[in-house]
Structure 1
């Protein structure tokens, strides 16, 4: 068994569309759209819990609520709020899964890609990253 991080992506404008505000490239979501998405993702979480493959999974707050901390030239922390709508896709949610194989995780990711959403909403890839086992298997 190995652990994997499975990530879904989104932008600030996607979050705004989910609040009912149509944006360039994304139609406004209504309550039925949101409920369909939540039910679909909830069913995935329930199934993964039943199989024992779910370690953790969370949706993340919109990008406008991000705080970025970098190291300034003077060695002090530089704190920036954002990024905002001009930012490309960021992680919108994730699962940490413990599965028997990469093929199994790929099956789960393929299921995630079929999450219902309004016609015309942007489609993003689901990204799978193996989690290192602590032995430092970087190479």
Structure 2
């Protein structure tokens, strides 16, 4: 079964990782960043070795996001991020092919343990089963 495992973040979190603290997130040091990158790299290597990793990527900061919708006349309405009404957005993801929900939950627990500086916000790791082309769970 394939699963999408998602991590969340806010614009303030991305700025904190660049060294700018806010009321919502402390500034990350270079050591904090390197610890997180090493942890995620080891996780990705383990998932690749087990054959469970299909894809995984970190995403650019919300400020580089664009929304495209339609107005009442069907004309495109394009809005650049970040969005004041949105607290957190998708920050990164993995597509995993796991034997069970229990196994992907174990992996999500490991993702949740990624190192970060004290006081940084903690977000849940989201697991969603991926449907196959027929509309069934794959």
Q: Give the structure-1-normalised TM-score.
A: 0.95
Task: Tell me what 2:32 maps to.
Answer: 33
Task: Tell me what 1:47 maps to.
Answer: 46
Q: Deviations over 1:83-127 (max 9, x none)?
A: 246621110000000010010000000000000000000000000
Q: How many residues align?
A: 137
**1:136 Cα deviation after fit:** 1.0
Moved over 4 A (4+): none
The residue correspondences of 1:65-80 to structure 2 (distance < 5 A) are 65-80=64-79
Q: Which SS does the other structure have where 1:16 is aligned?
A: helix
Task: Tell me what 1:126 maps to.
Answer: 125
Task: Tell me what 2:88 maps to.
Answer: 89
CA RMSD of superposed structures (Å):
1.2
Task: Tell me what 1:4 maps to.
Answer: 3
Query: Partners of 1:11 and 1:80 in 2: how far apart?
Result: 17
5+ residue gaps, structure 1:
none
Query: Partners of 1:25 and 1:3 in 2: how far apart?
Result: 34
1:3 and 1:98 in contact (8 A); partners too: yes
Task: Tell me what 1:15 maps to.
Answer: 14
